[in-house]
């Protein structure tokens, strides 16, 4: 099945987010289909990272709705009214969503292997033997089988980010969120991380990727969304949007980053 005909996995419906007086997301409507790589670009402060954090319940939305699959994220709806989910219900929703941050957020006192094993054992109740076998498989998949016993301080930034990707995949999520995963890396390390993400896309993983890597968007993305000042300015096929942006603000932004 092609991505174009696949069913929606993520839906944003009129999503608003305020931080005090600051109106960060201003009525976002967006759909990400199952198996799609949805790339989001835009200047700093445009609301891209906040959008991701709302999907993963690291931020609560101020208005609107976000669905992943058939589930309303963060709330349950009863007779048209929204009620907050409890901590246990939120944790259950989060388990289906992997997230990779700019900063790797690895446990410094645990090896790469232990970092990847941690959540399946603690959250999913898997046996250590089962979690270890899966973790070794994932470290091999991200090209770090020979670094399983290294601590984060012994790894380069790119290697740490690849461990972070393996750690997110260890929970077998149906959706992966990437928040500028290469922005904290030295330029020569970026390619290794992007290659892992490209391989992941080939497996049919649904991905929302906030990035400045326009080449990745062009090559791997199914959809490219340009955000500015909390709104979706333009969205479409990445190659078409990059080659022939329709909106003046998109043209201006791309002229600075290409």
Q: Is the pLDDT of residue 42 over 60?
A: yes
**Residues facing residue 67 across a β-bridge:** 11, 72
Residue 195's pLDDT band, with cuts at 50, 70 and 90, is very high
The widest CA-to-CA distance across the chain, in whole angstroms, is: 55
Q: How many alpha carbons lie under 13 Å from residue 96 in its C-beta half-sphere?
A: 16
Give, as one character, the DSSP assignment of residue 5.
G
Alpha carbon 102 to its chain centroid, in Å, reads: 11
Please state whether beta strands 81-84 and 75-78 pair in parallel, antiparallel, or not at all (unpaired).
Answer: antiparallel
CA dihedral of 250, 255, 256, 258, whole degrees rounded to 10:
110
Over residues 130-185, the pLDDT tens digits come to: 999 999 999 999 999 999 999 999 999 999 999 999 999 999 999 999 999 999 89
User: Which residues contact residue 205 at a Cβ distance below 8 angstroms, ignoring those fewer than 6 apart?
Assistant: 35, 176
3-state SS, residue 120: helix
Distance CA 241, CA 258 (A): 13
Buried b (16+ CB within 10 A) or exposed e, 111-125: bbbbbbbbbbbeeee
Instruction: Report how far apart, in Å, the C-alpha atoms of 107 and of each of 89, 118, 119, 133, 216 are.
Output: 25, 10, 12, 20, 28
Q: Which residue has the tokens 């759909």?
A: 31
Q: Is the pLDDT of residue 115 over 70?
A: yes
> What's the confidence (pLDDT) of residue 39?
98
> What's the confidence (pLDDT) of residue 2?
63
């Amino acid at each position: 099945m092609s991505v174009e005909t696949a069913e929606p996995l993520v839906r944003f419906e009129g999503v608003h987010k305020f931080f005090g007086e600051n109106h960060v997301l201003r009525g976002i409507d967006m759909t990400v289909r199952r198996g799609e790589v949805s790339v989001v670009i835009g200047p700093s402060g445009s609301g891209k990272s906040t959008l991701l954090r709302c999907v993963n319940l690291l931020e609560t939305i101020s208005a609107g709705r976000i669905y992943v699959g058939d589930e309303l994220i963060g709330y349950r709806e009863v007779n048209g009214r929204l009620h907050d989910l409890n901590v246990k219900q939120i944790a259950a929703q989060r388990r289906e969503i992997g997230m990779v941050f700019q900063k790797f957020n690895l446990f410094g006192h645990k090896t790469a292997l232990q970092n990847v094993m941690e959540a399946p054992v603690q959250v999913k109740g898997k046996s250590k033997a089962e979690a270890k076998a899966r973790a070794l498989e994932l470290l091999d998949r991200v090209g770090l089988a020979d670094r399983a016993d290294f601590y984060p301080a012994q790894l380069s930034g790119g290697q740490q980010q690849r461990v972070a990707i393996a750690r997110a995949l260890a929970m077998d999520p149906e959706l992966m969120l990437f928040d500028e995963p290469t922005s904290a890396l030295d330029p020569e390390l970026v390619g290794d991380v992007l290659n892992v993400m490209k391989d992941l896309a080939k497996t049919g993983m649904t991905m929302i990727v906030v990035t400045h890597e326009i080449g990745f968007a062009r090559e791997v993305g199914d959809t490219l969304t340009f955000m500015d000042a909390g709104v979706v300015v333009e969205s479409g096929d990445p190659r078409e949007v990059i080659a022939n942006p329709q909106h003046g603000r998109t043209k201006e932004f791309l002229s600075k980053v290409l």
